Amino acid sequence: MSEVYVDGFMWTRGCHHYSCASGSVTTTVQETCCEVLGEVYTNGQNWKQGCHNYTCNFGMPESNVVLDTCCEVFGEVFPDGHTQIINCHNYTCNSGSLDIVSIVDTCCEVYSNNHTWTQGCHNYTCKYGLSEAVGVLHTCCEVLGEVYPDGHTWTQSCHIYTCKKGFLETLGVLDSCCDVLSEMYPDSHTWTQGCHKYVCKNGLAEAVGVINTYRRGHTIIWVMCTITVILVVALAIIVQNAWKTASIIDSIRLKDLREDPLLK
């Protein structure tokens, strides 16, 4: 049978303090208890977590003992079966004992000169105590200084690529890019073509404006033609005026000749 408490009533049970406020129950942990990762332990209670034995000491969890199955190395504690690299060796915690499993491949301080190994997509060798990359595996792909392992797939610009046994293969084009006359434009990219300005929107090229009525070359031709026409018209006017002037002069001369008494 559930208990009913009046508003403002407070009580204690285990490590918790309770209070009834406006129909809701609020909870707090006693200062002498320990709350760890959502678990509450009473004062003096012992428990195991990871590689340690803990004791609740008046609200503070204390650990003074490492489990026998764990390994403590340089202040760090590792669980049973855990492998750890320390200096040039791979160690494994074996029921509390630290066993050397192998020497780290990249440790040229231990290996002799010209020792080689493979790591990722690269071949390495030891040269006078230092590791040196000597080449890329033929099954990997090197693109613009980046190296990708066999089977790796990635996107670059508008294309989807994969590395297949050392060869770069194009799987396709991103749906968000625009393929216009074999030119690829990423989403939101703008460019000009002919007399129009375009933008790529989710794989579709949209015209967003007109640059000019004429292209640049057409504008130059139009200007040159206009100048030529003006010059031709001006020249025609000059020639016409010259003919008129010559006609007037000839008329005057003919009149003078008719009135000359010596010619009568």
pLDDT at 1: 41
pLDDT at residue 162 tops 90:
yes
Find the mean pLDDT for residues 123-151.
Answer: 84
Task: Give the whole-angstrom CA distance, residue 224 versus residue 164.
Answer: 58
Report which of 69, 94, 96, 74 is spatially closest to residue 86, judged by C-alpha positions.
74
Instruction: Give the DSSP letter string of 198-240.
Output: EEEETTEEEEEEE--SS-HHHHHHHHHHHHHHHHHHHHHHHHH
Mean pLDDT of the chain: 79
Could you tell me what percent of the chain has a pLDDT over 70?
79
Residue for token digits 């200007």?
A: 223
Residue predicted with more confidence, 179 or 103: 179
CA-to-CA separations, 169 to 152, 153, 165, in angstroms, rounded: 11, 9, 10
pLDDT at residue 180 tops 70:
yes
Please list the residues that pair with 209 across neighbouring strands. Answer: 197
pLDDT at residue 217 tops 60:
no
Residue predicted with more confidence, 165 or 131: 165
DSSP 8-class letter at 70 = S
Give the domain ranges of the chain: 1-66, 68-104, 176-226
pLDDT at 222: 55
Task: Give the whole-angstrom CA distance, residue 57 versus residue 134.
Answer: 58
